[in-house]
C-alpha cells in the first residue's frame, strides 16, 4: 500500500511538473506572438514612413516643376516686353 501511495505521489508530482512546463511553454509562445505583433506594427510604421517619404519626393518634384513654370512665365513676360519695344 505504501508503494502504491509513493508511486501515486511521484506520478502526481511528474504530472504537476509537466503541467508547469506546458504552462511555461504557453507563456513563452504568447511572448513570441506579442513580439511578432510588435514587429508587424514596426514594419507597418516603416511602410507608412516610406510612403510619406515618397510623397515628400513627389511634392518636391511638383515644387521644382512650379519653379520651372514660373521661370518660363517670367521669360515669356520679358520676351513680350522686348517685342513691344
- What is the tens place of the pLDDT at every residue in 40-72? 999 999 999 999 999 999 999 999 999 999 999
Residue 4 is predicted with a pLDDT of 74
Sign of CA dihedral 30, 32, 33, 37: positive
Instruction: State the total domains in the chain.
Output: 1
Q: How confident is the model at residue 31 (pLDDT cuts 50, 70, 90)?
A: very high
What span, in angstroms and rounded, lies between the C-alpha atoms of 62 and 54? 12
Domain that includes residue 56, residue range: 1-85
Q: Which three cell numbers stand for residue 79?
A: 520676351
Residue 3 is predicted with a pLDDT of 79
pLDDT at 2 over 80: no
pLDDT at 26 over 90: yes
The per-residue pLDDT of the chain, averaged, comes to 94
Residue 30 is predicted with a pLDDT of 98
Amino acid at each position: 500500500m505504501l508503494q502504491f501511495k509513493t508511486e501515486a505521489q511521484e506520478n502526481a508530482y511528474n504530472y504537476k511538473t509537466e503541467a508547469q512546463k506546458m504552462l511555461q511553454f504557453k507563456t513563452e509562445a504568447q511572448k513570441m506572438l506579442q513580439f511578432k505583433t510588435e514587429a508587424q506594427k514596426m514594419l507597418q510604421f516603416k511602410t507608412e514612413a516610406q510612403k510619406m517619404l515618397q510623397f515628400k519626393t513627389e511634392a518636391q518634384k511638383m515644387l521644382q516643376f512650379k519653379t520651372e513654370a514660373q521661370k518660363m512665365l517670367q521669360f515669356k513676360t520679358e520676351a513680350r516686353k522686348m517685342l513691344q519695344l
